[in-house]
Amino acid sequence: MSPCPDTLAPSEAAVSHGAAPCVIVDTGHERYDIRIGRGLLDDPASWSGLPRAAQAVIVTNTTIAPLWAARLHAALAGIYARVTTVELPDGEEHKDWPALNQIFDHLLRGGCDRKTVLFALGGGVVGDMAGFAAGCYMRGVPFVQVPTTLLAQVDSSVGGKTAINHALGKNMIGLFYQPARVICDLATLDTLPQRELVAGLAEVIKYGPIADAVFLGWIEEHLDALLARDAGALAHAVRRSCEIKAEVVGQDEREGGLRAILNFGHTFGHAIEAGMGYGAWLHGEAVGCGMRMATDLSARLGLVPAATVDRMHRLLERAGLPVRAPALGAARYLELMGRDKKAEAGQVRFVVLEALGRAVVRAAPDELIAGVVEDAARV
């Protein structure tokens, strides 16, 4: 029996069936489930009820392939007549057209038709690229997210944002294209390097200040367990993060308003990533540092007290995330943020906190931003 019955009412946004808690994403146009649990890769129920096709293609990278591709291949071989794998180079610096075209080459050389199902097995880069490829191949084929990093499980695999980078900006070329399902096998986190686990925690932490002060308190209490990869703690963190993301994306698929709050810390973070050269900082690290800066900006705008900045600072520091920003200079930060996708008519907009648990999007004067940037380089 499927752990996520199709008859589930939209209001029951999250249900738990023992081993495989399930979160529903419903954008109005599309509806799919996120299944969370240990060992889901090997569970036939994970793959039942997906679109039928002659071929399935696993899109992964050279790091993840030796660890997990054989398991997924074995699971899919019972369902699709032909299962093949395309291995992309690993790393944010390969989130570009040549690597995307590797997927198209593989699909066309293999005679894949427009029913072919793609499976994105890997972290955020693989998910973004496989999703974008699925959205464009023959004008759209189905795809399934199988995230193997904490960051991808709690954030990038959910909500349908796909993209590649352009030399002039991160994630500038992409689509909103929803997966048919998301399978978060918590066992895949066993092979995740600690630095990446910590980077993923940045996105988990994010959901607290923007949407759920109670969850923020829970993270503070269970941070040591999360860092030690306690199975129960990770399961709760992934599930609650996915619930919040599903709720937000369900209300605003295309980032017309509410969805922008998910970018808390990202405007500063993207500037750090771009300014340091993609790959120098992990995305989650940059977001962690960016969240401290965005909280500081919130305080400078008079929205939250200085104590809130301290609380976020302490939590991020305890998690092992960077809190000191690179000293690029305020002018360079402002220049880099001017290309942010949330910018409109040259005006940069920031996600800031009105309180812990509530975020809004605001413009801010350059002087305040300069103050944030300069202080963050000295903390």
Q: How far is the CB of 253 from a second copy (least distance, A)?
A: 11
Q: Which of residues 241-280 bind a second copy (CB under 8 A)?
A: 254-255
Residues with Cβ < 8 Å from 101, sequence gap 6 or more? none
By CB under 8 A, name the one of 62, 101, 193, 228 that touches a second copy.
101
166 binds a second copy (CB under 8 A): yes
Q: Show which residues are catalytic.
A: 139, 161, 203, 245, 255, 259, 263, 266, 270, 283
Q: How many angstroms separate the CA atoms of 136 and 164, rounded?
A: 12
* Residue 328: burial class (beta carbons within 10 Å; 0-12, 13-18, 19+): middle
3-class DSSP state of 25:
strand
Q: Which of residues 71-90 bind a second copy (CB under 8 A)?
A: none
136 binds a second copy (CB under 8 A): yes
9 binds a second copy (CB under 8 A): no
3-class DSSP state of 359:
strand
By CB under 8 A, name the one of 1, 11, 29, 307 that touches a second copy.
29
In this structure, the chain runs to a length of 379
By CB under 8 A, name the one of 5, 42, 49, 113 that touches a second copy.
113
Q: Considering the complex, state which of residue 136 and residue 225 has its C-beta at the smaller distance from a second copy.
A: 136
For 57-122, the DSSP string reads EEEEETTTIIIIIHHHHHHHHTTSSEEEEEEEPPSGGG-SHHHHHHHHHHHHHTT--TT-EEEEEE
By CB under 8 A, name the one of 10, 42, 115, 327 that touches a second copy.
115
Q: How many angstroms separate the CA atoms of 19 and 11, rounded?
A: 22
Q: How many angstroms separate the CA atoms of 109 and 84, rounded?
A: 12
Q: How many angstroms separate the CA atoms of 155 and 284, rounded?
A: 10
Q: Which two tokens stand for residue 123?
A: 């972290």
By CB under 8 A, name the one of 45, 54, 74, 228 that touches a second copy.
54
Task: Select from 87-95, 102-110, 314-322, 361-369 the region that touches a second copy (CB under 8 A).
Answer: 102-110
13 binds a second copy (CB under 8 A): no
363 binds a second copy (CB under 8 A): no
By CB under 8 A, name the one of 1, 302, 346, 378 that touches a second copy.
346
168 binds a second copy (CB under 8 A): yes
Q: How many angstroms separate the CA atoms of 53 and 291, rounded?
A: 43
Q: By the criterion CB under 8 A, which residues form the site for a second copy?
A: 29, 54, 97, 101, 104-105, 108-109, 111, 113-115, 135-140, 161, 163, 166, 168-169, 172-176, 254-255, 338-339, 341, 343-346
